Chain A
Amino acid sequence: MTVGTKRTRAGNPTRNNFWIDIVLLITVLLALAPNFTGLAIHEWLSIAFWAAIVLHLLLHWAWTVNAFKRIVSRLPWATRLNLILNVLLFIDMTVVIFSGLMISREALPLLGLTIEGGRSWEFLHRLTADWSVFLTGLHVALHWRWIVNALKRFVWQPVSGLFRPTAGAPAAVALKSEVKQ
């Protein structure tokens, strides 16, 4: 009963996770292309992306804590690999965003902050940005089956349902007219 109430209030958690993850993927693709977005959007989007990472981690908190608790004991190799990859991705994303702040030319100066980052930070930013594409690819790949299932459930089925004539519709209309009479 309580679970049912919670579910109704928060919506379907899997659906929420799916749409947040889609937004995260689009954001990371845009943030990794400053030649497309321009430097200002690139910097602000990356800062917003960090907040989205925190949200993503909060939504998957239970899994993360359980995986960390069980890493010393028996853990399936796929879960272990997933955890290691997620830790690497977190480190990489944190470094790429922070090194980006250290060489910021738009976002921080607008806030009245000027940091002379230097070439080392720029080098680190480029290196970790390249790695983030690779690690994001692996992250998506390891969750591919979940993504495909969620796509079917939350995108394909509702869209195909729009074009499918419902069998119960004429009967429902007839029932409604009978009630009116």
Chain B
Amino acid sequence: MKTLVRIGLILAASLVVIGGAFAYVQYGGNTLLASGPGRGEIFEGGQRPERGQAGEAFTPSTGGAFAGEAPPDFGGERGARREGSHEAGGLGGLTEVLKNLGVIAVITLIVAGIGTAWRFLSSKLRRPTSAVAPPAPPAQPTA
């Protein structure tokens, strides 16, 4: 029962986060996506010039005949996935795993290094105060 309550609390916290994500996508996500240079920002007056407007000769593409050869996989079964692609996966993607592992290792090295240096420095700073011996108690008269 206790575990179920805890799972419920975790789910509730997740729902709050998901609600926030929904709000972000609905109200903030699109503005963030469009914030880069693009539509209407890099062209004067917000108008993208079209080819041929400034008096240059413009002949629209007629979709000329393709003279080359089709790529090897082109005639394959519809929907077939190429090895190593995003959808099929493959050993080529191992670099992605290694890259992420490398990032984690570098962060760990940096943080662990800082932690070790901090402990070393704090122990060095603490040592002189602890090295001072407390005053000796007065000698007790023996019977």
Contacts and interface: CB of A to CB of B under 8 A. Distances in A.
Interface of A: 29-30, 32-39, 41-42, 54, 57-58, 61, 90-91, 94-95, 98-99, 105, 118-121, 123-124, 133-134, 136-138, 140-142, 144-145
10 contacts: A35-B92, A35-B93, A36-B94, A37-B89, A38-B89, A58-B10, A61-B6, A91-B20, A134-B107, A145-B115
B42 interface: no
Interface stretch (B23-31, B51-59, B121-129): B23-31
Given A32-B96, A95-B21, A98-B18, A140 B7 contact: no
B111 interface: yes
Nearest to B21: A95
Nearest to A138: B107
B50 interface: no
Given A61-B6, A90-B13, A121-B25, A30 B97 contact: yes
B108 to A, nearest CB: 4
A49 B16 CA distance: 19
B117 interface: no
A111 to B, nearest CB: 18
Given A90-B17, A120-B30, A37 B108 contact: no
A35 B96 contact: yes
Interface in B74-104: 81, 84-94, 96-97, 100-101, 103-104
A141 to B, nearest CB: 3
Across the A-B interface, the 6 shortest Cβ-Cβ residue pairs? A38-B89, A36-B93, A35-B93, A137-B107, A141-B111, A120-B29
B97 A39 contact: no
Given A119-B33, A137-B104, A36 B97 contact: yes
Contact of A137 (B20, B29, B84, B108): B108
Contacts of A133: 100, 103-104
A141 B33 contact: no
Nearest to B101: A29
Given A98-B21, A133-B104, A123 B89 contact: no
B86 A94 contact: no
A141 B93 contact: no
A38 B32 contact: no
A75 B30 CA distance: 39
B47 interface: no
Contact of B6 (A42, A58, A145): A58
Contact of A35 (B6, B33, B86, B107): B86
Contacts of A144: 108, 111-112, 115
A127 to B, nearest CB: 9
A21 to B, nearest CB: 13
B3 interface: yes
Given A35-B96, A94-B21, 9 more contacts: A29-B101, A35-B92, A36-B92, A38-B90, A42-B89, A94-B14, A120-B33, A140-B104, A141-B111
